[in-house]
A and B are shown apart, each in its own frame.
Chain A
């Protein structure tokens, strides 16, 4: 399957006088992904974003939106076809929420009826009650205002959304909530999103791919996992340690699942000489339906490997294979264990996640 490219930058530069703010940046954004641009302030990330909808004209290079060079497009039409969300939200204080959401529809002279219907539809999409439509922006909290900002960007039903530090002006708790909502929303709307942030945790959380900018140059580009494994000293120091945990959130626990687990049927004896036991403190007891009944620490077994039902310790709360590694690690830390049993929806035993293998996941390639 060929991947569709929504936005492509080819050696794009921006000069202010002699100052190269953006220096031959090239990247492609695939349809339906969240591409994050990140870097310290002054690195040119916002400038790069604004060149995509030509709020800032580029000095050299080519910018293609859905395959068409933006230089050949009318800037106003281009902007109307791309959703735009900014940090300071920029709701128009003299307009109601409905008029704010339908602003671009008003610009393109759509009927009042359509403006109203679209506003009603979108305010529900972003999780606000429809009676907010008649209110004014100042009557809403910061988080609610930014939800309206997102709804407004969706009004013209664009394929592409540009988001410039969209959650930068709200408190951390609201920010996390908005991030989760964005990811949930993205499941259904599947827009191509170019997302600028200076918060590395946010980048790892929302980004399918991340581009790191330094003094106008793209120094690193890849998936969160590729980014954390880079050798670049600047990138290493920029992402820091906190981000690693966020990367674990992007990985399904099935990747570190131990399937070769010492198992024993409830009516059998444990073969104490079996190779599989090496490195394990416990043996897991399963019944004929492959349900796990619990586990027995090896040192409580009878010398001949037999055990009684009373010796089986029931499993701690288990999880399904689709949870993230971060979630698994948090759960282990919370319960004070170094392993976590994983079962499928029908309670069938899938294996064990070891704390050690979670740690190895990131440490492995980092010298």
Chain B
């Protein structure tokens, strides 16, 4: 029990630094998720129209997905230098596979009868996408975005190694000093942030569902 109170004491002492790093960590992760989603959803929509292209694109995204994060950051470093750039770029790359694959799967999984009826009533392809395909694929797409969000918060930790300045700084500092308190002071906010992101996106999903169904 002494260890616990000692940890809190330590945490209180460095609270300002933890807060600063948490804010920075969260916006880096958020930028990764937002940019990743904004790029992957259109690609997912595009490949859902072209089955031949979809296999190639998904394989490519899968290949990128398998690169270890440390290696990817190291690879991006010479092009982008130190700072948040290589980290956010890596996050975007990691978000591609889940989001574009689920977008494609989600759209292909929409009830053909619903699509046929909507088309038969005179929907343009854009109206079909906005009124039928995306709303009905939404749960599948959101599942991927939520997965990506949790993943992203974790990978942002690695960004500390290329100077992105997130909570990873505390964790790596703790590791090099073999100081568990410092490691914990970085890890706990990371976990809380991941869970919060997931929950917030759950709220967004519910909100979107309500708004599409009353539009």
Contact = CB atoms under 8 A, between A and B. Distances in A.
Contacts of B112: 88
Interface in B1-19: none
A84 B136 contact: no
Given A86-B113, A89-B113, A107-B127, A94 B120 contact: no
A301 B136 CA distance: 80
Contact of A88 (B113, B135, B212): B113
B116 A55 contact: yes
A80 B121 contact: yes
Given A93-B136, A94-B136, A86 B213 contact: no
A90 B122 contact: no
B209 interface: yes
A81 B122 CA distance: 8
A357 interface: no
B116 A80 contact: no
A79 B121 CA distance: 5
Interface string A266-292: 000000000000000000000000000
A162 B119 CA distance: 13
A209 interface: no
B119 A103 contact: no
Instruction: Name which of A77, A79, A88, A92 has the most chain B CB atoms within 10 A of its CB.
Output: A92
Contacts of A350: none
B114 interface: yes
Contact of B114 (A84, A87, A91, A107): A91
B135 A107 contact: no
A114 interface: no
A84 B123 contact: no
Given A104-B122, A107-B122, A91 B117 contact: yes
A53 B120 contact: yes
Interface string A66-102: 0000000000111111001011111111111001000
Nearest to B124: A76
A93 B122 contact: no
Contact of B123 (A78, A91, A95, A107): A107
Given A90-B111, A149-B117, 19 more contacts: A76-B124, A79-B119, A80-B121, A84-B120, A87-B113, A88-B111, A88-B112, A88-B113, A89-B117, A91-B114, A91-B117, A92-B114, A94-B135, A94-B136, A94-B209, A94-B212, A103-B131, A107-B122, A152-B117
Interface of A: 53, 55, 76-81, 84, 86-96, 99, 103-104, 106-108, 149, 152-153, 162
